Structures are given as structure tokens and as C-alpha cells.
Amino acid sequence: MRFMGRYLRPHKRALILSTLLSVVSTGLGLVQPYFAKVLIDKVFLGDRPDLLVPVLAVLIVLLLLAFATRVSNSYLYTHYSARLLFKMREDLLAHLHKIPLTFFSRSRIGDIYSRIASDMADVQQLWTVTLPHSLFDVLTCLITIAILLWLNWRMALMSFVFLPVGVIMLRSIRPKLTELSRKIAESNADVAHSLFESLSGTSLIRAFGAEDLECRRLRERHADVLQTLLRYQAVGALSGSIPTFFILVNTLVVFGYGGFSVLGGSLSVGELVAFSIYQGRVFGLLQSLMDGFLVIQKSKVSLERVGEIFAIEPQVREDGDLILSDETFRGDIAFHNVSFSYDGGEQVLRELSFQIPGGQTTALVGPSGVGKSTICHLILRLFDPTSGVITLDGTDLKRFSTQWLRSRIALVSQDIFLFHTTIFENIRYARPEASEQDVVEAARAACIHDFILSLPQGYGTVVGDRGVRLSGGQRQRISIARTVLLKPKILLLDEATAFLDTAVEEELRSTLEALMGGRTILVISHHASSIRNAKKIIALGPAGVEYEGPYDGAYELNNAG
């Protein structure tokens, strides 16, 4: 409830109204057994046949009112509970886009998806089904118990003698249910991750003939899930035995004590029938509450798993509000004694200091593993330095609005992601408001326009999951077109032409230089041809910056490492 409080408060009025409607519908729904008493004692045995039609008419009206109230309440509750849960899922997704990227590198994608889909589904069932039904059942149970005490308090007390034992049983098995619920959630996450991994690597699996191995692994995970589910059901059956003992005790009370009371004349037949009906309803309500108890324990674990993600601090903790006008924007980037490590581990960068001048092309070279890609991520503020300062035009990056900063800086890397939609939508993702002509011009600049037109559906061609229907070079050029459409002030090219042949790379480089004239370009590449036109070169090695200066054609790439 503490976790859900911020989501419940905006719907406080609807929640109060829903509770009031539940009370009204519950009270109206409990009139039938009492009317059965009136019909038996007054009409059938009391020789008042004239009351039959009026009593039935009133009963039908009350039952219809109860039905209408409950339907209205159900509509109201579903409306605000669905909005509540949609807001929670939207916040969860937004938070996932802010937390450290290292979370994704150390977490299994199946587990993350399980929390968003499966765990959120459990939460949705809790708030839209279990809680309203449990609230209705509790209210009905309390009112029914009050009616039973009013009808015959001695019989009622004898009926409830087993309830304290049932409460003690529930308290004792609750920790075990919570533990098993967590194991079920984790086992389902294992299955989800296995499926994701298997489908993502289907080409590799087929190449090694490992289809049977993957199926066997899935069967083993299913066996683990089944074993945990069976244990959960066994413990749940123990809690489900409570209503069974209750009905056993109540049968003895009604037909034993109640029967003798009717024969002795201290209890009427109508009162016994009404008491029996109300007592039967309490049994049904207890059974429903036991089922709800199991769901609540499972949903509690789901809420905790969702809450664990919300508890992760965002990666970028300081978001300033400073922006620069296009007239004053120069694009000078400087690293001042910058160090960085992932999650406090081994340092990737150690007190690096260098400058990337604005308005020209700078090459960043060095062997694999020295942190070239990390530098791009730091400039984009996907991470913040462990120590040191990165400045843009002399101002600390942390002072700028993150949204504004990322609208001025674009990264094209060899790790390309395309959405399972059309080529047109993949390019326009950078600027959703862009016109068709803007998209075409960006594709021309990325040297991919002619290829797109050669496809049967042209720009409407669906590229498949992660662009699987395209070659590496084609995906790369679409990624570059998407970046060109953004028209960034600073362009970061991290092995952006790794999949292109020399002729296409040269044409693309010339086009980008023409489009980005007077803007800042940082090129990372192992190809000497990609950095030949750079005005400045920064060479990194294991010890840090090994060379920083002009590229005059005499500097060769292998000098960097």
C-alpha cells in the first residue's frame, strides 16, 4: 500500500465512491434469505397468502437495485484501476529508460520483460479483480455475521468457534506462500529469458544443429516451474481446508442444535432456513477469501519485483536547464581529468584530458578496450564520469538540459538497432514530425535511397525484427539516414562505416562532410580511410592519451596502439 499510495491518491474520490457503492450493493444483496424467513413464517405457515405478491415484488426490486449498483460500481472501479495500472506501467518504462545501462548488461532481458508483462499482469489482476472481489466478500461476510448474530446469537457463536484456528493457520503458512510465489516468478522469468535467447539466436542454433538441446533446456526449466507450482498448490490446499472445517462445524450447529431448537419450539422454521442460507453464504465467502489470499500473496511478490526496478537510481542524477542558441553554439568538447568505471569496478578511463574542437572533424583512434565507445556515451550523458568534468563550449555537461543536449548530439555506432516496422518509420524515428521529402533527402545523404526504391514496397518495406531482412551495410546506412534527419550539431561516428565497402564509404563520407560543414564530427574507426580527412587526431592507449595533435597524413593508424 505504501508503494501504491502515490498512484491511489489521484483516484481518492473514485475509491471512496466505489467503497460506498460496495456497501450499498452488499446490503441489498443480502435481503433474500431474510425474505425467505418472512415468506415461510408469515405467508406459508402464518396463513397470510395476501402478503405473497407484495413481498415478492419488494424482493425483486431490491435484488434489481443490488444488481444495478454492483454493475455501476464494477464499471467505476475498472475505469480508475485500469488508469492507475496504465500509469504505473508507463512510469516503469520511463524509469527503465533512465536507470544505468549497466543494469541491462547484468540483467537478463527475459527477467526484465517478465517484470513488465507477467508481474504487471499479476498486479493488474490484484487491483482490478482480486481486491474489489475481496472487499465485496469482506463486507458481505461482516454484514452476514451481524445478521446471524441477530437471528440467533448462540448458534452464530457456535458457528464461529473454528475461525480463530483458521486465522492462526493462515498466519503460519503465509511466509511459505510468499517464498513459493517468489520462486514461481523467478522460474517464469527463467523460461521467458530462455525463449528470448533461443529465438534471438535461432541462426546460431540451427548452424550448430542444437535445436534438440534448446528444447531439452526448455523442458528442464518447465520441470522446475512445475515442481514449484505443485508445492504452491499443496500449501494453498492447506489454506483451502479452512472453509471445509467451517462447513463441517456449521452442519452440526444448524442441523443439530438448530433442529432441536425447532423441535423444542424456541426457533421457527423460517428462522432456521434463513440462518442456514446466511451461514452457507459465509462458507462461500470464506472460500472466495481463501482464493483471494493466495492471489494476494503472489501479487505481493510481483509488486516487490516491480518495486525493485523503481528503487534503482537514475543514471543521470543532475539534469540542468541550460540551453544554447544555435548562434552561440560552437560544439567545443573538452575532457578534464575524466575517469570512469562501470558500477565501481575496474576503471575504463583514467584521468583523461583532451579537447575536441568545434566545427571540424576529429578522429579518435586506439586499440579495442581503451574506452573509445565509452567516450561517446559520456558525451551523450548516457553515463556520467566517476570523477572529472566534461564541458561543452566551456560549460559542464550536467548544467545542460539532457533532452536539449541529446537533440543536438547524435551517435551512429556499429551496434545498430532497427524497429520491426517500415524503412520510412525507422528513418523518421529521429524526427517524428519530418515530412516525406525530409526522409527521402536523409536517405539520399546516407546513400541508401536507390536501394530503397529497388525494393517492391520501397520506403514501406518492413525490415523485420532488428532489421533482420537487411544486410549489415544496409542497416548501417539506414541508421546514418536516421541521424542525418536529426540534423545534429555534433555527430559521433563510432565505427559507423564498418560494414561498408570502400567506394560506398568514400561517397558517404563526402556527403556527411558536406552536410555537416562547420559542425563538430568525432570519428572512431579502425579504417585509415575513415580518418584521413580529420583535422585533429586523438590516440588512446592503455595508459591514456598517447598522441593529440594534427593529422597531416604521416600519422598511421597503427601508431595508436
The rounded Cα 465 to chain-centroid distance in angstroms is 20
Over residues 102-136, the pLDDT tens digits come to 777 677 777 777 777 778 777 777 776 777 778 77
Question: What average pLDDT does this structure show over 171-186?
Answer: 77
pLDDT tens string 459-473: 998 887 666 677 777
With cut-offs at 50, 70 and 90, classify the pLDDT of residue 242.
low
Domain boundaries defined on the chain: 5-310, 333-416+488-560
Q: Is the dihedral of CA 269, 274, 279, 284 positive or negative?
A: positive
Which of the 8 DSSP states describes residue 313?
A: P
Examine the pLDDT at 557 and tell me if it is beyond 60.
no
Q: What is the pLDDT of residue 355?
A: 93
Q: What is the mean pLDDT of residues 411-432?
A: 85
Q: Which of 109-113, 384-388, 457-461, 475-479 has the lowest mean pLDDT?
A: 109-113
Look at residue 53 and give its three-state secondary structure.
helix
The pLDDT assigned to 258 comes to: 76
At 54-87, the pLDDT tens digits run 878 887 888 888 888 888 888 887 787 778 778 8
Q: What is the pairing mode between strands 536-541 and 395-396?
A: unpaired
Mean pLDDT of 271-279: 78
| pLDDT band, very low/low/confident/very high, at 256 (cuts 50, 70, 90) | confident
Q: Which cell numbers in the block locate residue 114?
A: 517478465
Q: What is the pLDDT of residue 554?
A: 44
Arch. (CATH architecture) of 333-416+488-560 = 3-Layer(aba) Sandwich (3.40)
Q: Confidence class of residue 413 from pLDDT cuts 50, 70 and 90?
A: confident
pLDDT recorded at residue 335: 94
500/473 Cα distance (integer angstroms)? 5
Collapsing DSSP states into helix, strand and coil, what is residue 318?
A: coil
- For residue 560, the model assigns a pLDDT of 41
pLDDT value for 61:
86
Q: Is the pLDDT of residue 203 over 90?
A: no
Residue 437's pLDDT band (cuts 50, 70, 90): very high
Query: Three-state DSSP class for 372?
Result: helix
**Model pTM above 0.85:** no
Three-class SS of 460-513: HCECCHHHCCCCHHHHHHHHHHHHHHHCCCEEEEECCCCCCCHHHHHHHHHHHH
pLDDT at position 166 is 67
Continuous segment of H or E residues that includes residue 458: none
HSE, CB side, 13 Å, CA atoms: give it for residue 401. 9
Residue 7 — pLDDT band, cuts 50, 70, 90?
confident
Please give the pLDDT value at position 310. 83
Do the Cβ atoms of 274 and 144 come closer than 8 Å?
A: no
3-state secondary structure 421-439: CEHHHHHHCCCCCCCHHHH
* pLDDT of 556 above 60: no
Per-residue confidence (pLDDT) for residue 541, from 0 to 100: 85
pLDDT for 503 equals 67
pLDDT > 70 fraction of the chain, expressed in percent and rounded: 85
pLDDT value, residue 121: 76
Residue range 349-378, pLDDT digits in tens: 888 999 999 888 888 888 888 888 889 889
Query: Rounded mean pLDDT of 416-433?
Result: 86
Write down the H helix ranges in 201-327: 202-207, 211-252, 259-264, 269-310
* Residue-level pLDDT at 317: 60
Between CA 163 and CA 142 the distance in angstroms is 13
Which are the contacts of 413, defined by CB distance < 8 A and separation ≥ 6? 373, 376, 494, 495, 496
Q: What is the rounded average pLDDT of the residues 260-273? A: 78
pLDDT band of residue 243 (cuts 50, 70, 90) is low
pLDDT number for residue 501: 67
pLDDT band at 430 (very low <50, low <70, confident <90, very high): confident
Top-confidence residue, 313 or 374: 374
* 481-518 pLDDT, tens digit each: 888 888 888 988 887 666 666 666 666 777 776 666 77
The CATH code for residues 5-310 is 1.20.1560.10
Mean pLDDT of 517-523: 83
Residue 147: other Cβ atoms inside 10 A: 19
- From residue 199, alpha-carbon distances to 192, 202, 469 in Å are 11, 5, 16
